[in-house]
Structure 1
């Protein structure tokens, strides 16, 4: 095993798989702080010498944090999202920002379909009923995906893979995005409320960030209707949490499947206690295949940068 190159100091601000940590430690001097920056970066992180930071879209890296790292050259997002990395501040400093586009898209799409099936067929409440001894009283009719109407918010890599999987259920497809795509499945809706009104299921698969904050609002949920389900596998900020709680309390929608939520990991009790709400801990994109692809993209970006080669997965400059 080669010794780490002491001049290449890398600071990781997120939890990483052991195999990724091992790979980083082989070639770099790694400072591992998986709980993030906190109020201040501890001295053990050696901020003066840090040349690379590993983060993700949720944790991000602000301009002020970059300013505290005078030797910083590259910020790598472990995953596709980079919405909370201040790309404009990085550009002003000449700092490269990278990500792993598409690395976990298939896994996220699979997770979305799983949540749709589980919600529609009532896997969680029905299992609880059987555990409680209510075998014969737990046979209420449940909807199915076959022939249902699916609305997809966002038609990027993940949205397109969700649409492809939905074809297997003969679902009628509609989507909302910033613009129509000639090669996308389904009908384009410029107005998200109109899409919700004609959907039995609404899946959120768009980018996070300020532009999409609370895009799925009370108005959209009301349009989805009392028999409609919403699933979020994008970012918690896209779905207004309080509007969701209110819609569920009023039976304005039938249920929700959430892999992400505002202020995670704190989940409101009203959501946890609702029988037709499923919550998974932001793991939609985690699978052996996706983590391997994310690791490969991360290691490639760091190696290319330190070799002064073009960085394949650099994000567009702000």
Structure 2
């Protein structure tokens, strides 16, 4: 029996590509560019499945033009907000994601952003690199100490739970807002807030770890920023769509929000140019899962789902 044809839309880690070539007839995007809608539509004519990343966008209009040959899309990501899942299901295309395997790496970045924002990492780095660090003073570069402070986690799923565990190492008091309360064995003493407003007013750091579902678009808006405790910090390692960026700028410029640590933005790649003028923002280019171990694990999880599908089983991580 001929191997299924698999279109891999980005260059994945070497071990993942090597495994893919063993089990599939692989078509590769060799220069690793972000494929356009037209390219995705054309690619569907040649493939039984596609292994894609968050950079490939499958809107309802794109899905309507996909070739019937395409039967599966395996995401190399946890988030699926770039895919119209209902349209893909209606077209008979199975969609999977890669949960579990990137929680540790993303939680590490959340802690890096929290510390970087709180301790003014961008400003300090800039001082040393540009040669403007000439002396020491008791009030120079004083930041916000997170040890013993209150951390509010919005979305206590896999990543949120690991963030909580890492933050406990800093003796932080954990609060969380979730669609439903977790069992006591998972909470581990964390305080549950059924209403987001309650959490925002009590904590010193807010970490966004929830999906960018339709109801969560601009979750952090002007009203919500005013509800945050004065002088608190925002951290976002989830999706840029969760934050009204103009409202965040206003909150930072007013001083009500002390600082922000951001790994994701509404416009990617590139981010928000207005953020570059704000030293209180510590930014990274959406690298929450960017470790060798995690990116390999994500690729292998996607291939596991593909293997299950083509062996006649339901993939473990089917999302539609």
Judge conservation of contact 1:84–1:209 (CA < 8 Å) in 2: no
Aligned to 2:16: 20
Summarize the alignment of residues 139-158 of structure 1 with structure 2, pairs less than 5 Å apart: 139-158=140-159
1:285 aligns with 2:282: no
Shift of 1:125: 1.1
Judge conservation of contact 1:301–1:313 (CA < 8 Å) in 2: yes
Which structure carries more relative contact order (alpha carbon 8 Å, separation 6+)?
A: 2
Summarize the alignment of residues 47-62 of structure 1 with structure 2, pairs less than 5 Å apart: 47-57=44-54, 59-62=56-59
Summarize the alignment of residues 214-225 of structure 1 with structure 2, pairs less than 5 Å apart: 214-225=218-229
1:266 aligns with 2:305: no
1:94 aligns with 2:92: yes
Aligned equivalents of 1:221, 1:203: Cα separation in 2: 13
Aligned to 2:241: 237
Deviations 1:50-92 (A, max 9, x none): 2112223453423433332220111111021212222222222
Secondary structure of residue in 2 paired with 1:10? strand
Shift of 1:47: 3.0
Summarize the alignment of residues 102-251 of structure 1 with structure 2, pairs less than 5 Å apart: 102-130=100-128, 131-137=131-137, 139-182=140-183, 183-185=186-188, 186-251=190-255
Shift of 1:31: 2.9
Judge conservation of contact 1:74–1:96 (CA < 8 Å) in 2: yes
Judge conservation of contact 2:110–2:207 (CA < 8 Å) in 1: yes
Judge conservation of contact 1:150–1:174 (CA < 8 Å) in 2: yes
Shift of 1:307: 1.8
Unaligned runs of 5+ in 1: none
Shift of 1:159: 0.5
Aligned equivalents of 1:290, 1:168: Cα separation in 2: 22
TM-score by length of 2: 0.89
Shift of 1:149: 1.0
Judge conservation of contact 1:66–1:72 (CA < 8 Å) in 2: no
Aligned equivalents of 2:81, 2:273: Cα separation in 1: 27
Judge conservation of contact 1:204–1:232 (CA < 8 Å) in 2: yes
Unaligned runs of 5+ in 2: none
TM-score by length of 1: 0.90
Aligned equivalents of 2:273, 2:118: Cα separation in 1: 22
1:9 aligns with 2:13: no
